[in-house]
């Protein structure tokens, strides 16, 4: 399948001639994943299917006992040791992700306020602050940026160094350990303060 064929299918979805599921099934048939096919639609301005959340809890946290029913229960509640989706889903009670996937292959915000898209700026501020990437708004700007990257290996290396430095700072093991120890100290101080009262 060529780029023009994919663009034609996207336009058919936009015009309502081809259902989203049909598009996703065709993309899966040529080797893309369902989430990637859904992202193609989203980046071309075709909104994700919105699912309504009719339940309104009576109080913060939902009020009441949380009951879960799985065909196979999780063995443990640590997503880092998960061997399957049962542990990943079970651990969501404690480790909620920023986003998840719905049945249609759409990203759905969970803790994130919104899913980054071309229209809302995505992670543009991170790229702009670090200087570790290229920003674009149109397909022509993207093509020009890719051409520049292909032609200039020094630029590629520099962007890679900047991006790596931006990630290593706040996401390194040292940064995580420092924050973890800070939280532990805060908890110990809070507990000591309550014990004195």
Residue 20 lies in a domain: yes
Q: What is the pLDDT of residue 64?
A: 65
> How many domains does the chain divide into?
2
The angle subtended at Cα 98 by Cα 93 and Cα 102, nearest 5°, is 85
Residue 169 lies in a domain: yes
Q: What is the pLDDT of residue 167?
A: 78
Domain residue limits at 139: 124-196
Consecutive 10-residue averages of pLDDT for the chain (197 residues) = 87 90 87 83 74 62 68 79 80 77 83 74 76 85 90 92 84 81 89 68
Residue 94 lies in a domain: no
Distance CA 85, CA 83 (A): 7
What is the reported pTM? 0.38
Distance CA 36, CA 87 (A): 24
Q: What is the pLDDT of residue 52?
A: 57
| Angle, helix 153-171 to helix 139-151, in steps of 10 degrees | 110
80 alpha carbon, distance to own chain's centre: 17
Distance CA 20, CA 37 (A): 9
Q: What is the pLDDT of residue 154?
A: 94
Q: What is the pLDDT of residue 17?
A: 92
């Amino acid at each position: 399948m060529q780029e023009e064929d994919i663009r034609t299918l996207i336009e058919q979805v936009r015009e309502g001639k081809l259902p989203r599921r049909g598009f996703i099934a065709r993309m899966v048939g040529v080797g893309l994943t369902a989430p990637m096919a859904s992202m193609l639609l989203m980046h071309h301005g075709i909104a994700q299917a919105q699912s309504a959340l009719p339940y309104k809890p009576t109080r913060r946290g939902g009020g009441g006992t949380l009951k879960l029913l799985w065909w196979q229960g999780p063995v443990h509640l640590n997503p880092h040791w998960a061997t399957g989706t049962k542990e990943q889903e079970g651990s969501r009670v404690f480790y909620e992700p920023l986003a998840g996937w719905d049945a249609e292959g759409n990203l759905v915000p969970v803790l994130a306020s919104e899913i980054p898209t071309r229209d809302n700026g995505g992670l543009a501020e991170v790229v702009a602050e670090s200087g570790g990437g290229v920003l674009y708004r149109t397909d022509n700007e993207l093509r020009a940026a890719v051409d520049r990257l292909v032609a200039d290996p020094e630029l590629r290396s520099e962007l890679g160094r900047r991006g790596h430095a931006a990630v290593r700072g706040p996401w390194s093991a040292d940064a995580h350990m420092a924050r973890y120890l800070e939280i532990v100290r805060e908890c110990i101080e809070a507990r000591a303060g309550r014990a004195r009262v």
